[in-house]
């Protein structure tokens, strides 16, 4: 293993970007320190954000950048905390993965941690998991299960684990994806070892605190903690079941069997009161009701299809759905943006206006106040209203170019979730990471 600290070339945009940097830095700004943002719920809560994207820039015109910095291949999204941006990539020619720390104002690379790795996964275009920032430490997970705890200031290794070497983990077909979760003094990770599907580490030292569950598959869904009744429950969705654990001990509260084809449990489970919703590409959705007794859970409704082509409710491949008081919004297997009735799962409407028609079509939905920011796989950023009445597009522009060729489908894609922080959007493709100002001023 080798660590290098250096800067690479970067450029800032012209006067518009410089003025935007000044205006944003003078205002109070929130961070996006982990997968899903500050509360891990994929909601953007900053105020003072544009109602429409900059005028006069059509769908094929790139939004004006505050900066753009070259990076390598990767599916991972950025994390933003305390004026720094953290992202991972792959340097294929060198046989390495990297963790990069950038200055959020300028895009300048502050430090880089680089290590050798041999890929043995499908879609080998770099790391998948968004880094997790906690105070003066950042936790980064590579596609082959290299987990690092690094010093935020300089990238020095504080501790590290190898899921393969330390736990003989079964690396899933598409690599290690689930971004680790901080809970108190713990770092909770989906590892995939024998009777160690989930492992809790002391976040300061890397010491194992507990391990739980056993599944020959690993899955791709990030761990999340929800409170049902008065009980905090760690939700782990894996290829055999949806499981709820005591986050302090790893003891199982309840499990609902749900075998998913190809281990494709990807979108993060979403809470709706005393219910939990999951959606899979082939096997469709399940709505699970959790009782006041933390050991009780049951399926209250589910999809009627095990085919991603003949779908009746919601068969998502990657994006996490959004649940409101009465509805579920999500992207189905062939790109259909759908609205479902939350109580029955029945379809209210669907549209392809925000997405496109094709297998595995992807778009991320990020609620903001009374509307949604949508980042689709063509690199578009869309502001839209979603309601039981339908889809109403307000504004659209190109955020980044789609650079990854999806050979079997004949289209270019970008499958990386953006970060929304500092009144800006931070996004990446396989060539660059950018910051675009979205402050109303």
CB 137 within 8 A of CB 152: yes
Q: Which two tokens stand for residue 116?
A: 């050798």
C-alpha dist (Å) from residue 23 to 19, 171, 424: 6, 45, 11
Q: Establish if 261 belongs to a structural domain.
A: no
Q: Are residues 4 and 95 in the same domain?
A: yes
If asked whether residues 327 and 438 sit together in one domain, one would say no
> How many domains would you assign to the chain?
2
Strand ranges of the sheet holding 371-376, from the earlier edge strand across to the other edge: 363-368, 371-376, 380-387, 390-398
Residue 6, Cβ neighbours under 10 Å: how many?
A: 9
Least Cα distance to 194 among 222, 217, 220 occurs for: 217
Model confidence at 4: pLDDT above 80 = no
Site of tokens 């199982």: 252
pLDDT one-digit tens code per residue, 398-418 = 999 999 998 777 899 999 999
213: pLDDT strictly greater than 70? yes
d(CA 416, CA 129): 10
Residue 330, domain CATH = 2.40.10.480
Q: What is the pLDDT of residues 128-183, one digit of tens each?
A: 999 999 999 999 999 999 999 999 999 999 999 999 999 999 999 999 999 999 99
Residue 231 Cα distances to 38, 191, 253, 294, 307, angstroms: 21, 24, 10, 7, 35
Q: Residue 163, exposed/middle/buried by CB under 10 A (0-12, 13-18, 19+)? A: buried
Share of the chain above pLDDT 70, in %: 92
Please report, for the chain, how many H helices and E strands are present, in that order.
2, 35
pLDDT at 358: 87
384 and 429, same domain (yes or no): no
Please report the pLDDT score of residue 139 as a whole number: 98
In a domain, 77, yes or no: yes
Arithmetic mean of pLDDT, 205-230: 96
Residue from 350, 361, 355 nearest 391 by CA: 350
Return the pLDDT at 413.
92
Report residue 381 as tokens.
């950023």
295 forms beta bridges with none
Does 103 lie in the same domain as 29? Answer: yes
Three-class SS of residue 168? coil
- pLDDT band at 29; cut points 50, 70, 90: low
Banded pLDDT at 110 (limits 50, 70, 90): very high
Q: In Å, what is the CA distance from 10 to each residue of 13, 69, 394?
A: 10, 5, 32
Mean pLDDT of 363-377: 97
Q: Are 33 and 104 in a shared domain?
A: yes
Residues 326-344 have a mean pLDDT of 97
Q: Identify whether residues 119 and 1 lie together within a single domain.
A: yes
The predicted pLDDT at position 55 comes to 56
Tell me which residue range forms the domain holding 118.
1-123+419-441
Domain membership of residue 437 (yes or no) is yes
* The two three-digit tokens of residue 60, written as one number: 């094929």
Q: Three-state DSSP class for 218?
A: coil
Are 1 and 108 within one domain? yes
CA distance 149 to 107: 22
pTM (2 decimals)?
Answer: 0.91
Is residue 173, in this structure, part of any structural domain at all? no
**Neighbour count for residue 229 (Cβ, 10 Å):** 12
Residues 440 and 325 in one domain: no
Q: Do the Cβ atoms of 305 and 311 come closer than 8 Å?
A: yes
Average pLDDT of the residues of the chain: 92
Taking the C-alpha atoms of residue 337 and residue 349, their distance in angstroms, rounded to an integer, is: 8
Whether 398 is in a domain gets the answer yes
Q: Does the residue 209 lie in any domain?
A: no
Query: What is residue 199's DSSP assignment?
Result: E
DSSP string, 15-79: HHHHHHHHHHHTS----B-STTTTTTS-----SSB-SSPPTT--TTSBPPPSEEEE--B--PPPE
Closest by alpha carbon to 47, among 323, 436, 393, 438? Answer: 438
Whether 433 and 329 map to the same domain: the answer is no
Q: Domain check: are 384 and 441 in the same one?
A: no
Nearest to 200 by CA among 216, 214, 182: 182
* CA distance readout (Å), 45 to 295, 324, 375, 425: 33, 16, 17, 13
Q: How many CB atoms are located within 10 Å of the residue 410 CB?
A: 8
User: Do residue 387 and residue 441 come from a single domain?
Assistant: no
Which of these, 155, 158, 72, lies nearest to 117 by C-alpha position?
Answer: 72
In a domain, 192, yes or no: no
Pair type for strands 181-183 and 146-151:
unpaired
Same domain, 410 and 324: yes
CA atoms within 13 A on the CB side of 135: 8
pLDDT band at 25 (very low <50, low <70, confident <90, very high): very low
Residue 375 is inside which H or E element, if any? strand 371-376
Q: Give a yes or no: residue 67 inside a domain.
A: yes
The angle formed by the CA atoms of residues 324, 327 and 333, to the nearest 5 degrees, is 110
Q: What is the DSSP letter of 163?
A: H
Q: What does each C-alpha distance from 80 to 38, 343, 398, 430 come to in angstroms? A: 10, 36, 21, 19
């Amino acid at each position: 293993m080798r660590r290098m600290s250096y800067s690479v070339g970067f450029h800032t945009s012209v006067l518009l970007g410089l003025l935007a940097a000044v205006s944003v830095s003078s205002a109070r700004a929130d961070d996006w320190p982990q997968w899903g943002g500050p509360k891990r719920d994929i909601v953007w809560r900053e105020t003072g954000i544009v109602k429409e994207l900059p005028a006069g820039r059509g769908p094929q015109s790139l939004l004006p950048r505050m900066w753009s910095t070259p990076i390598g291949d990767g599916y991972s999204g950025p994390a933003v905390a305390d004026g720094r941006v953290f992202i991972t990539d792959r340097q294929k020619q060198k046989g390495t993965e990297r963790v990069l720390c950038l200055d959020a104002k300028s895009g300048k690379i502050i430090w880089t941690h680089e290590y050798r790795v041999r890929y043995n996964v499908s879609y080998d275009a770099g790391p998948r998991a968004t880094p997790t920032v906690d105070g003066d430490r950042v936790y980064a997970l590579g596609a082959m299960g290299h987990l690092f705890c690094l010093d935020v200031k300089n990238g020095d290794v504080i501790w590290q684990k190898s899921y393969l070497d330390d736990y003989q983990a079964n690396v899933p077909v598409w690599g290690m994806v689930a971004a680790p979760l901080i809970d108190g003094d713990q770092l909770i990770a989906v590892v995939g070892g024998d009777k160690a599907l989930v492992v809790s580490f002391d976040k300061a030292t890397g010491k194992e605190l507990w391990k739980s569950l056993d599944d020959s598959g690993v899955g791709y869904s990030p761990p999340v903690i929800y409170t049902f009744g008065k009980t905090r429950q760690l939700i782990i969705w894996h290829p055999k079941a949806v499981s709820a654990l005591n986050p302090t001990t790893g003891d199982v509260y309840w499990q609902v069997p749900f075998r998913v084809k190809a281990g494709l449990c990807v979108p993060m489970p979403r809470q709706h009161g005393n219910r939990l919703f999951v959606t899979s590409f082939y096997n469709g959705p399940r709505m699970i009701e959790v009782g006041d007794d933390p050991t009780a859970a049951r399926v209250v409704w589910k999809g009627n299809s095990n085919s991603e082509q003949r779908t009746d409710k919601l068969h998502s491949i990657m994006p996490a759905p959004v649940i409101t008081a009465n509805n579920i919004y999500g992207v189905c297997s062939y790109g259909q943006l759908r609205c479902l009735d939350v109580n029955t799962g029945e379809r209210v409407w669907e549209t392809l206006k925000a997405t496109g028609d094709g297998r595995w079509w992807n778009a991320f939905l990020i609620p903001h106040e009374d509307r949604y920011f949508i980042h689709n796989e063509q690199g578009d950023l869309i502001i839209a209203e979603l309601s039981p009445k339908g889809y109403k597009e307000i504004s659209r522009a190109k955020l980044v170019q789609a650079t990854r060729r999806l050979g079997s489908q004949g289209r270019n894609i970008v499958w990386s979730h953006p970060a929304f922080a500092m009144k800006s959007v931070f996004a990446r493709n396989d060539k660059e990471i950018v910051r675009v100002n979205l402050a109303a001023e």
